[in-house]
Structure 1
Amino acid sequence: MCGIAGIADPRLSPNRLAAEAGRMADALTHRGPDGRGVWGTDGVALGHRRLAIRDLSPAGAQPMGARDGRWVLTYNGELYGTHDARAALMADGHAFSGHSDTEILVELIARHGVAGALARVEGIFAFAAYDRFERRLWLARDRMGVKPLFYAATSGRLLFGSTLSALTACGAAEFAIDPSAIASLLRHGYVPAPGSIYAGVNKLEPGHLLSWSPGEAPAVAAYWSLDSVIEAGRTDPFAGSDAEAIDALETLLTGAVRRQMASDVPLGAFLSGGIDSSLVAALMVGAGGTPRTFAAGFTDDPRFDESGHAAAVARHLGTDHTTIPVREADALALVAHLPEIYDEPLADPSGLPTALLCAATRRAGLTVALSGDGGDELFAGYDRYTLATRFAERIEPIPIPLRRLAAGAMGRMPHAALGLAARALPPPWGGPDAPDRLRKAAAQLPGDGFDLYARLLTLNPDARALANGAPGLPSPMDRPGGGPLLDRMRRLDTLAYLPDDVLAKVDRASMAAGLEARVPLLDRSVVEFAWRLPPHLLVRGGERKWPLREVLGRHVPRPLFERRKQGFAPPLAAWLRGPLRAYAGDLLLSPDLGGGFLDRARVRALFAEHQTGARNHAVGLWPILAFEAWRLASAARPAHKDD
């Protein structure tokens, strides 16, 4: 895994282009501490920072040119199962210089073009390939959006990079904050693709490629579509028995894990003790050896600590397990560094423990870690799916006037009373955040199940007002599509929440530590199979992720993993009233709060009400804090201007 960057501008001198590409690449040193490369010609310069994973020799250095002299590649990622592609290239007469997947990719491009190469590879990647004959630059991003890629096209110039900081390091361009992106951040907790926090800077969406040549606007097109996968699954649903479905899924997952264990450096796994990470660890054990596993534990608050469950699974599997204590003091000390780690404002509270876990895993000697991300989206694992479907089944038949009356009554209930009421309710309504879930559900009583799902994913219902009237960016959440409710929710989470929050969080946290994170559950074969499964093979008897549970049950005793999903978030509400209160107050009570982008009075009212304990506004305050901390940190960074 690496960092890539580059600039195309035929008006700039070769020396200037090389200097800019080098400066942009140097902003990615944390993503690639093992090497640096810059290549340029014809008004284009490509930069690269290398994290050596496969073929640690100079033969894997980048940017890398194809043997025919036409193509040059700068590439971030890993290709899996490349044996057939390598054999085909050798049969075609190519003599490999090394055994890196970079050489395989650039030679596939040389023979089949960018689109043809993409059809032949499986992996996680973002790359730029320059065609010297046609003077055309291509950008591409993997199907699920595991690896990031930003770009900006203005005034006959194209910039690209793995992170925003790579683009802002370029002295040939300036960037301004997009008010609409702030509104989206406050609503979702992330800036949805294809937008970014900067106006005129885009994320290349998952499964898309871009082509650009001087004098042209960028042409962006999909080479892979989740909607096509969904439609194919509906056209050809899995028709076998339960046992056949479980056998088929285990075969696919085993293959994905084995392919993603290929590495020339130390490799292990994150293990929370939940279904997804436990399954990945179990299949790694089945592949042979004793993998190292790592878990984070909130040792200061047992309500949020899953490390004991992880340790129990590790003992059963026989992994070499390490528990990383996430102490309150460590997490609080990290808060001020979150803007640097996450690069673009990201308001996922689990970003704190994720960053600590990744850093500790890297210090322990690992360079690659497999994670269980993606299981909830593909196999219907989130609590919100249960809440929304039960709402649709049980509440929607009630006449709307009665639901409006109930909504008003619940909306007027004090926070403490809602907490008492929640104690009598079954999962997933219980837990520390139960009063807020009930209040959100009450507000949606006049609506339908999808309205409830959307509300549960909304951090600030009045995001537009908080952002001084900015309307927000377009988002997949605004285009729910058709089909059964469960399919619509899974689709939207896979299109938006997964790449723009979950995968972005893991990528930035891991790469900040020089650690590569891989996601075998998002292997293309697994994704396509998941969308062939009918509802009764996803949820059964109230159990979500039923097929994953069944596969895991073949490797781990059920009492070790059959429990309510706990999540990976810290006790944020209490921290904002306690050890983080001063930090939050310094930001939110500043006269310069938001730099003119936020409604200061509304923000301060939220903060004050949270401090009283009357309401829990932690999830709404966190994106505001994420933006403000990022804004101040960005303003403090040295700016590089044109000479």
Structure 2
Amino acid sequence: MCGLTGFLDPAGTSEQAAYHAIGRMTSAITHRGPDSEGHWAEEGAGLVLGHRRLSILDLSPAGHQPMHSACGRYVIAFNGEIYNHLDVRCEVRGARREEVRWRGHSDTETLLAAFTAWGVEETLKRCVGMFAIALWDRQKRTLTLARDRFGEKPLYYGFAQGLGSAQGHSNEDGSVTGRGPLLFGSELKSLMAHPEWQGTLANEALEDYLRFGCVGGEASIFQGVAKLPPGSLVTITQADVQAGRLPAPVHWWSAEQAAREAMAEQPLDSPQTAITAVEEALGDSVRNRMLADVPLGAFLSGGVDSSLIVALMQSQAERPVRTFSVGFDDARYDESSHAEAVARHLGTEHLTLQATSRMALDLVPSLPDLYDEPFADSSQLPTALVSKLTRKHVTVALSGDAGDELFGGYNRHLWVPRIWHKIRRLPLPARRALAATLKTIPAHRYDTLMRHGGRLLPKRLRMRTFGEKLHKLAAVLESSSERALFAGVASMNREPDTLLAGQGSGKPPEALFPALAKFDSVEWMLLMDTLHYMVDDVLVKVDRASMASSLEVRVPFLDPEVFHAAWRIPSALHLKEGQGKWVLRQLLFRHVPRELIERPKMGFAIPLDAWLRGPLRDWAEELLSTASLAELPMLDAGVVRRLWQAHLKGQGHHAQQLWAVLQLLAWQRRWG
């Protein structure tokens, strides 16, 4: 696991200036690779590669990067892990007539030999792993950027002076336009460190950011800079850079296509067959991800996904697996006792990392540095905290991320189809009229009614957030389609345009997610969550939070064979008996008693409402001041301030919307 960066400047620059620039760019991402630093330049081509190394496999100098292929044609800067690289080595040896003389046992060297034997795209298809790659072809004088199937590792690219960004912004064909050198890197901060950087805020990205709490898709927060999509590559020439227009990426792997191919096979519709198939695929994936030359452990929350990963690790390990959970001083958000019970049963060497609210609060000012772009999933705080504490003990940790997206673990997977089946019977005009009636009373007024009238109700019917739930019901009733209903429940803020001073895009919610033929509603939701929420939120959160502490996190669920097995299982089996992740649960119960697992899903949450009214109030007040809001005139300062005052008075539940605005303002102050 490492960090890469570099630039391609056909206009040329002096050797001294080039190495000064790449030194700044690699220094900006030292946290991704604190063990060593490497630079390389192609004389006369304007191409410079930089690399920061976190040594995981082959700790010797033979793993140093940028690395040259044995034939001398290719030079690579590589971030990630190729879990099947020993198998790939054997295949390369069989494909070549002459003896392959390996210098070390790193997966980077394996990649270079495979590129020489088969070419780039065929090599990527044969590799299983998480990666971002910058590959210079000295023969063709082309730069190829590539990213892994699921987008576990980030890769940004664009111009020092951007004019138009990727698909979803000004260039509908997915190309990128701008002026100056082409810059690329694992994090935006490495691009921003280049001496010619002149970043311009991409206003078009703000509406979707405020809706989902992250900058999604191929767009970035800057004009002329894009994120390479998962499972894709782009090959760039010097002429492309000189023309100021980069080609659109092409996909070497597609989650949608892979799902369709799996669904076309014999379905795993027998419960035992499905459970066994997942056990074999996930067990192999876990085994492959336990390969490391440094200390390794696992996150353990006590939930289904992390408990299953740890159970499969322990079943294959010769000694107790090291597991880590985080315990908070607020009992409402502390799952550490559940994790400890699972660890005792499995016999792991468990450590509960005791955290305090103060420790989490102290991280807040550093969030813009961790994420480079505005990012407002508040579980970023506990994720960063557990990563920081875990890194004191191990260098690699396995996690249970992606189980929800592949196997149907979110509540919306269960109830969106149910609710839509019921409300669609009522004509849309009638539903909208009812919704308008419900919204005539502010949410906090409903809460007041519940506080007084709720005393007459049984305790189980008393709802602290009664008004918020009624307003959510109103939004559900207004949905024009099942896709629109899903878009609403998947959003952090259903009406982001209300926070903007100008007009929003006017796109209906369902336009944010494409309609796909031959997928039922549950299958469609699983795929949308995989392509969007997982890539844009979950994986970004985990990568930045962990790498900020130089911790490598591996995700066994994100393996092509696990994905294939999941998509051979009918949706009815994923959500069997009114429970999500039914197959994963049954597999886990082979290792852990049911009573240790079956409890309401808590999530990785923090008391954001209370913190914004309490210990974070001064920080928030300063960011929401008139002068601060004036720095982002595209925000409607009046609306934002009224929302803040309502929150302080307890009139409604606006913490998530405010957190998105606050993270945007904090980012603007740091990077704008």
* TM-score between both structures, scaled by the size of structure 1: 0.94
Aligned to 1:566: 602
| Correspondence 1:291 to 2:321 | yes
Deviation at 1:224, TM superposition (A): 0.5
Specify which of 486, 502, 506 is matched with residue 469 of structure 1: 502
Specify which of 129, 133, 152 is matched with residue 146 of structure 1: 152
| Correspondence 1:208 to 2:241 | no
Q: Is the 8 A contact 2:622 2:628 kept in 1?
A: no
Q: Is the 8 A contact 1:177 1:197 kept in 2?
A: yes
Query: In the aligned structure 1, how far is the partner of 2:581 from the partner of 2:462?
Result: 20
Specify which of 653, 658, 662 is matched with residue 616 of structure 1: 653
| Correspondence 1:628 to 2:658 | no
Aligned to 2:20: 19
Q: What amino acid maps onto 1:580 in structure 2?
A: L
| Correspondence 1:191 to 2:191 | no
Aligned to 2:474: 442
Aligned to 1:63: 66
Aligned to 1:94: 100
Deviation at 1:287, TM superposition (A): 0.9
Distance 1:55 1:221, change over 3 A: same
Q: Is the 8 A contact 1:65 1:73 kept in 2?
A: yes
Deviation at 1:180, TM superposition (A): 1.5
| Correspondence 1:416 to 2:447 | yes
Deviation at 1:419, TM superposition (A): 6.2
Query: In the aligned structure 1, how far is the partner of 2:316 from the partner of 2:389?
Result: 25
1:279-314 deviations in Å (ceiling 9; x for gaps): 0010010111211111122222x2221111111111
Q: Is the 8 A contact 1:576 1:584 kept in 2?
A: yes
| Correspondence 1:327 to 2:356 | yes
3-state DSSP of counterpart to 1:303: helix
Per mean C-alpha deviation after superposition, the further-off stretch among 203-212 and 167-176 is 167-176
Query: In the aligned structure 1, how far is the partner of 2:450 from the partner of 2:69?
Result: 63
Q: Is the 8 A contact 1:480 1:492 kept in 2?
A: no
3-state DSSP of counterpart to 2:477: coil
How do 1:505-520 residues align onto structure 2 when only pairs under 5 Å count?
505-520=541-556
Query: In the aligned structure 2, how far is the partner of 1:312 from the partner of 1:406?
Result: 47
Q: Is the 8 A contact 1:195 1:473 kept in 2?
A: no
How do 1:270-285 residues align onto structure 2 when only pairs under 5 Å count?
270-285=299-314
Deviation at 1:361, TM superposition (A): 0.3
Query: In the aligned structure 2, how far is the partner of 1:562 from the partner of 1:167?
Result: 46
Q: What amino acid maps onto 1:379 in structure 2?
A: F
Query: In the aligned structure 1, how far is the partner of 2:642 from the partner of 2:235?
Result: 47
Query: In the aligned structure 2, how far is the partner of 1:438 from the partner of 1:418?
Result: 12
Specify which of 420, 444, 457 is matched with residue 490 of structure 2: 457
How do 1:478-627 residues align onto structure 2 when only pairs under 5 Å count?
478-482=513-517, 483-593=519-629, 595=631, 596-627=633-664
1:430-455 deviations in Å (ceiling 9; x for gaps): 98767534422322214244323211
Deviation at 1:405, TM superposition (A): 4.6
| Correspondence 1:247 to 2:271 | no
1:39-72 deviations in Å (ceiling 9; x for gaps): 1112100000000000000000000000000000
Distance 1:458 1:335, change over 3 A: same
Aligned to 1:640: none
Per mean C-alpha deviation after superposition, the further-off stretch among 435-444 and 545-554 is 435-444
Aligned to 1:236: 265
Q: What amino acid maps onto 1:81 in structure 2?
A: N
Specify which of 361, 369, 376 is matched with residue 390 of structure 2: 361
Aligned to 1:375: 403
Q: What amino acid maps onto 1:530 in structure 2?
A: A
Aligned to 1:9: 9
Unaligned runs of 5+ in 2: 160-177
Distance 1:418 1:552, change over 3 A: farther
Q: Is the 8 A contact 1:7 1:17 kept in 2?
A: no
Aligned to 2:332: 303
| Correspondence 1:104 to 2:110 | yes
Query: In the aligned structure 1, how far is the partner of 2:24 from the partner of 2:104?
Result: 28
Query: In the aligned structure 2, how far is the partner of 1:607 from the partner of 1:449?
Result: 32
3-state DSSP of counterpart to 2:261: helix
Distance 1:17 1:491, change over 3 A: same
Distance 1:278 1:512, change over 3 A: same
Query: In the aligned structure 2, how far is the partner of 1:76 from the partner of 1:470?
Result: 40
Query: In the aligned structure 1, how far is the partner of 2:339 from the partner of 2:474?
Result: 35
Aligned to 1:30: 31
Query: In the aligned structure 2, how far is the partner of 1:404 from the partner of 1:259?
Result: 52
Count of residue pairs the alignment pairs up = 632
Aligned to 2:175: none
Deviation at 1:390, TM superposition (A): 2.0
Q: What amino acid maps onto 1:410 in structure 2?
A: L
Aligned to 2:50: 47
Distance 1:316 1:514, change over 3 A: same
| Correspondence 1:340 to 2:346 | no
Query: In the aligned structure 2, how far is the partner of 1:70 from the partner of 1:426?
Result: 72
Q: Is the 8 A contact 1:418 1:435 kept in 2?
A: no
Greater relative contact order, per chain length (Cα 8 Å cut-off, separation 6+) = 1
Distance 1:433 1:270, change over 3 A: farther
Q: What amino acid maps onto 2:406 in structure 1?
A: L
Query: In the aligned structure 1, how far is the partner of 2:324 from the partner of 2:421?
Result: 40
3-state DSSP of counterpart to 2:37: strand
Query: In the aligned structure 2, how far is the partner of 1:51 from the partner of 1:418?
Result: 57
Q: Is the 8 A contact 1:181 1:191 kept in 2?
A: yes
Unaligned runs of 5+ in 1: 636-643
Per mean C-alpha deviation after superposition, the further-off stretch among 180-189 and 69-78 is 180-189
Q: Is the 8 A contact 1:181 1:473 kept in 2?
A: no
Q: What amino acid maps onto 1:355 in structure 2?
A: A
Distance 1:240 1:387, change over 3 A: closer
Distance 1:81 1:433, change over 3 A: farther
Deviation at 1:395, TM superposition (A): 2.5
Q: Is the 8 A contact 2:500 2:635 kept in 1?
A: yes
Query: In the aligned structure 1, how far is the partner of 2:538 from the partner of 2:482?
Result: 24
Q: Is the 8 A contact 1:183 1:470 kept in 2?
A: no
Aligned to 1:639: none
Q: Is the 8 A contact 2:414 2:575 kept in 1?
A: no
Q: What amino acid maps onto 1:585 in structure 2?
A: E
Q: What amino acid maps onto 1:255 in structure 2?
A: D
Specify which of 145, 148, 157 is matched with residue 181 of structure 2: 157
Query: In the aligned structure 2, how far is the partner of 1:2 from the partner of 1:512?
Result: 11
3-state DSSP of counterpart to 1:381: coil
Q: Is the 8 A contact 2:269 2:570 kept in 1?
A: no
Percent identical across equivalent pairs?
44
Aligned to 1:74: 77
Q: What amino acid maps onto 1:487 in structure 2?
A: E
Query: In the aligned structure 2, how far is the partner of 1:12 from the partner of 1:435?
Result: 62
Distance 1:44 1:471, change over 3 A: farther
Query: In the aligned structure 1, how far is the partner of 2:636 from the partner of 2:410?
Result: 33
3-state DSSP of counterpart to 2:103: coil
